[in-house]
A and B are shown apart, each in its own frame.
Chain A
Amino acid sequence: MKKDKIINRRDFIQTGIRTGIGAGLGIIGFGLISRSVEGKTIWQLDPAKCVQCGNCATECVLQASAVKCIHVTDMCGYCDLCSGFFRPGALELTTGAENKLCPTGAIVRTYVEEPYFEYRIIEELCNGCGKCVQNCGAFGNGSLQLQVRQDLCVNCNQCAIARSCPAEAYSRVEPETAYLLKGFEELKITD
């Protein structure tokens, strides 16, 4: 008889606390859902703020960063003397490795017609260091720009590059504006 009474008291306390926790969860849940965003926001860097410090290559949780150099071809001047392709002070303007700026040789060029060359980025090789972006921006048209490749990015809760970005260029954006390329209005998006 006495034992029953003890159990009942314990049950009563348990039920009370359970109801309390349930109500708490409900309040938090509904409070947050009312101002949540449907779907998700994704990380992107603003090339207008980017200072090409090189952290994108080293800080990403992925080995071979999800940040890649994107070549906005519409902005390119097709120069023979491309400041994003050749190392400053290169001895010869040939495609020899010692003359190239890109440490991984990810930029290739093909002859179009006198005096123009087409530049292409082999994305598998690009490590997102931004060396070419810096020189193209300083001396060229700025058609080489760093961007988070949304198909590679694993969308970490807190982007490791964003945490160490000296220019605070990273922010979460809506999927509709997944790329923030500058100086370029219309984007042709491919899957």
Chain B
Amino acid sequence: MKNRSFKVILLLVISLVAINLFGQRFPAPEFETGYEVPETQIALAKPIFYEILDIIIFLATLTLITWVIIKKRSRRAVFWISIFSLLYFGFYRKGCICPVGSLQNVTMAIFNPEYNIPLTAIIFFIAPLGYTLFFGRTFCAGVCPLGAIQDLVALRPVSLKRWLRYLLGLIPFLYLGLALLFAATGTDFIVCRYDPFVGFFRRNGTFMMLSVGGLLLLAGVFIARPYCRFLCPYGVLLNLVSRFSWKHLSIANGSCTNCKLCENACPYDAIDKPTGLEVKSDNRELVKKLMVYGFITPLLMVLTGWTVSKYHEDFAHVNFKVRLAKQMMTLDDSQITELPEEVTTFQASGTPIEELYKEAASIVHDFHVGSWIIGGFIGLVLGLTLSKLTIYQYRDEYLTNKGNCYSCARCIDYCPVK
């Protein structure tokens, strides 16, 4: 054995010397039979023209669907546009780049000035938000391929209880928070990593990815758009922006006659019923409650901030540098015979270990600060959700909930006021 390794080393030394002398260990032969060396075959990515085309098609689809929803008020047209988006942005462009993921690119670009953000990512991030600000979530209705695929399978939607919707509706905020944290620290793009439908769009993927996507679609038959409502981090932003939208899809094209026909039309429970003659709770009682919630919200923020920050080291462990630094640290006090590849590569690179430790410590610090902010944000959302329960708004007609409505235009077909 020893003899053999000696031979290998000898061979290596000789060949290294040979490389230095002749450039190659085994020089290219001179063929006598007229054989010609074939060319190295490599293929290029799609030219940049396609990127520009994507932006144009994206903006055109967004404009068209907004016009169809607000002016034409046609569910059929929305349906066909969503089919187009599913085929083009989904199956043809394979689900990348999508606005849902672009929020991470934008975050990373804001926190990391060296990151080269592509123009496409900026436009895909800004344009849907801009349109939503003026016309509601028309992007969700049928431009987003993730929404389109779920909209198609929502065949037997059931109505969910309000408390359940509120509770599950908190998940996207947490998801958004974590996505921002990981993107801002340049660690990972978790929204893309856990995109459930991209496997279908690529018609290729790991078992986990495809099975989670399949389960979500299956659940989506009964719980309409489960990803959009209870996971989508970009949906959080669109929801918040949409509440202040200038114009929005209206159920009745005129004044509501309270005929109740649209009551079960919405698969997403996004139609607010008229409060009618429902007895309003004692106003003084509500104000008292609001004051209590206003007082406990900061406490909640501190509590959730503290809770989330407890996990900052676990989050930071996702980062490559931090993981490597941890491995290097444990190396000193344990006798591991077989070193992980990361460690051997790092040792071979000759970078001083202090530099790595310093870098890792700074990343961990960023995670600590970030997780406090995100925790506080979750607490704020919790507090505001509670406070919202005390706000009484009088309605004498059926109205779409501007935040939750995906502008799918199903309710329009149910309304007799055309």
Contacts of A187 in B (CB 8 A): 40, 42
Contacts of B188 in A (CB 8 A): 158, 163
Asked whether any CB of chain B lies closer than 8 Å to the CB of A53, the reply is yes
Report the minimal beta-carbon distance from A26 to chain B, rounded to whole angstroms.
9
Contact A113 B42 (CB under 8 A): no
Report the minimal beta-carbon distance from B308 to chain A, rounded to whole angstroms.
22
Q: What separation, in Å, do the CA atoms of A36 and B316 have in the docked complex?
A: 28
Within A58-77, the residues touching B (CB, 8 Å) are 61-63, 70-77
Contacts of A153 in B (CB 8 A): 45
A-B contact number at CB 8 A: 182
Contact B118 A116 (CB under 8 A): no
Query: How many residues of chain A are within 8 Å of chain B by beta carbon?
Result: 68
Within B116-134, the residues touching A (CB, 8 Å) are 116-122, 126, 129-130, 133
Contact B39 A73 (CB under 8 A): yes
Contacts of A79 in B (CB 8 A): 26
Given contacts A18-B244, A36-B116, A62-B204, contact A71 B40 (CB under 8 A): yes
* B 171-190 to A, binary, CB cutoff 8 A, 1 in contact else 0: 00000000000000000110
* A 149-183 to B, binary, CB cutoff 8 A, 1 in contact else 0: 11101111110100100111000100100110100
Q: What separation, in Å, do the CA atoms of A72 and B96 have in the docked complex?
A: 31
Q: What separation, in Å, do the CA atoms of A159 and B54 have in the docked complex?
A: 21
Given contacts A25-B133, A39-B48, contact A168 B12 (CB under 8 A): no
Within A70-89, the residues touching B (CB, 8 Å) are 70-79
Contact B15 A147 (CB under 8 A): no
Q: Which residue of A lies closest to B346 (CB)?
A: A166
Contact A113 B106 (CB under 8 A): no
Contacts of A175 in B (CB 8 A): 44-45, 48
Contacts of B32 in A (CB 8 A): 113
Binds A, one of B97-105, B140-148, B222-230, B375-383: B97-105
Q: 23 interchain pairs (CB within 8 A)?
A: A18-B244, A25-B133, A40-B120, A42-B45, A51-B345, A61-B206, A70-B42, A76-B28, A77-B24, A78-B29, A113-B31, A113-B35, A138-B12, A139-B15, A150-B42, A154-B94, A155-B45, A157-B96, A157-B189, A158-B192, A160-B193, A178-B45, A187-B42
Interface of B toward A, CB cutoff 8 Å: 11-12, 15, 24-29, 31-33, 35, 37-45, 48, 51, 94, 96-97, 101, 104-106, 109-110, 113, 116-122, 126, 129-130, 133, 188-189, 192-193, 202, 204-206, 209, 241, 244-246, 320, 340-342, 344-345
Closest CB pairs A-B (n = 9): A77-B26, A158-B189, A151-B43, A166-B342, A150-B45, A39-B48, A166-B341, A157-B192, A157-B189
